Amino acid sequence: MTIYRGQILDTPKSPFTGGALRVESDGGVVVRDGRIDGFGPFGQVRSAHPDDEVVTLDSGVLIPGLVDTHVHYPQVRVIGGLGMPLLDWLEHCALPEEARLVDPSYAEGVAHDFVRSLTQAGTTSALVFGSHYPAAVDALFTEAERVGPRITAGLVLSDRILRDDLLTTPEQADRDSRALARRWHGKGRMRYAVTPRFSLSCTDEMLAACGRILADLDTVLFTSHINENVAEIAQVTGLFESDYLGSYARHGLVGPRSVFAHNVHVSDSELAGLGGAGAGVAHCPTSNAALGSGLFPLRRHLAHDVRVALGTDVGAGTGFALFKEGLQAYFAQQLLGPDGVPLTSAHLLHLATTAGADLLGLPDVGDFTVGKRFDAVWVRPADGTSLDIALRNAADADDALAKVFALGSTADVHQVWIDGDPIDLQRAG
């Protein structure tokens, strides 16, 4: 057994429903066989476990492993394509790169870059938009298995509107998705997600095929995009003669295993549908800002009991750091004025950890509750950096956490554990 000693912060009780940041300023978390066996003030934990090894995290903070609920693996090399709205960005930036993954050896390189970037950011669990090509999805799972993060991902499906080399048929999609799910769903930390790209690029026949897979494989997840951009929404509602949610709901794709990304321009009746079905929404704040998609109506989601957590949406999103997403989520709510939700640092941590684990159906991770798996991030800035100075001068733990979101970057992620095992962050030097 190992006791990790340091300033420990987590959010087992949601700050959106009366909870607060849980703080152990000189805390101990006891880890046995990858599981949390004890938690509390260090003195108390130490007297219960006098003979166990102690690892002292001498500065910075220990937080739960971060959870990214929406991130695109084939877009890792095109982050930062600024200046375009969604449909132009897809055509000129994302899709040409996604088509390159038809070459399995190119895909292997991208998978390597992606998993490395994810873990360097302190992300220990993610719901990942895969590739349009089965071999490239295999490459992602293979690399994730080698390095360690919990990955839920799937073959991206489209049968219209996108460039030809990214299209498949509903029949082929069915065969390929089921074969990938058989290979990967439940293998170690890997799980499968049925992944139509968005209704705009899928016919009713394709979405119906997705519905059949989801009904047959009762523990796989479902993920797609919804209500991101006004031009996109106008096309979808025209094609389906319904609202955006209706294009998925008519095929049984809206339920507790569903995670929809964006949902910026959403009607109250769609929010009621999402809340009633227990579906989740991945809020991707830097992407919403970078593509000019809009400001996320968090208050209305909360009012309809829609589950929400953070996603980076790399590569429209501007990086893998969930700290930056948290800060941008805070900015967006500020900009909404009276329609926004004033977010504290505890809200941001919750959205980046416990809420994400909930959205992904991972009840064993997200915070340091005894019995959960030890997925953790030691945020320890280099001496003399602005975050180091800010942390040393923080008024209290909530303030220290606010500093992490304001100033933290992937460079401040000093160590990462998954199931109690340290992860090789593959940094040079």
Residues making contact with ligand GUN (CB under 6 A): 72, 86, 90, 94, 197-198, 225, 228, 287, 313, 316
228 lies in the binding site for Zn ion (CB under 5 A): no
The pair of three-digit structure tokens given for residue 50, joined into one six-digit string: 């006098």
Q: How far is the CB of 224 from ligand GUN (least distance, A)?
A: 8
Q: Which residue shows structure tokens 């991130």?
A: 71
The pair of three-digit structure tokens given for residue 89, joined into one six-digit string: 């960005």
228 binds, among ligand GUN, Zn ion, none (CB under 5 to 8 A by kind): ligand GUN
Residue with smaller CB distance to ligand GUN, 226 or 271: 226
Q: How far is the CB of 318 from ligand GUN (least distance, A)?
A: 12
Show the site string, 242-271: x = touches Zn ion by CB under 5 A, - = not.
Answer: -------------------x----------
86 binds, among ligand GUN, Zn ion, none (CB under 5 to 8 A by kind): ligand GUN
Helix (H) or strand (E) holding 97: helix 95-100
Q: How far is the CB of 78 from ligand GUN (least distance, A)?
A: 10
Residue with smaller CB distance to ligand GUN, 86 or 107: 86
313 lies in the binding site for Zn ion (CB under 5 A): yes
Q: How far is the CB of 211 from Zn ion (least distance, A)?
A: 21
Select from 291-299, 305-313, 340-348, 375-383 the region that touches Zn ion (CB under 5 A).
305-313
What are the two backbone dihedrals, phi and then psi, of residue 363, each rounded to the nearest 5 degrees?
A: -65, -15
Say how many C-beta atoms besides its own lie within 10 A of residue 325's C-beta: 29
Residue with smaller CB distance to ligand GUN, 293 or 410: 293
Which residue stretches of 217-261 are H helix?
230-240, 244-249
Residue 265 DSSP one-character state: S
Q: How far is the CB of 284 from ligand GUN (least distance, A)?
A: 7
Cα dist from 114 to 98, 107, 151, 319, 340, whole Å: 13, 10, 12, 11, 33
Q: How far apart are CA 275 and CA 260, in angstroms?
A: 12
Q: How far apart are CA 397 and CA 349, in angstroms?
A: 12
Q: How far apart are CA 130 and CA 107, in angstroms?
A: 11
Select from 42-50, 199-207, 313-321, 396-404 the region that touches Zn ion (CB under 5 A).
313-321
CA dihedral 207→211→216→218, nearest 10 degrees, is: 120
Residue with smaller CB distance to Zn ion, 71 or 377: 71
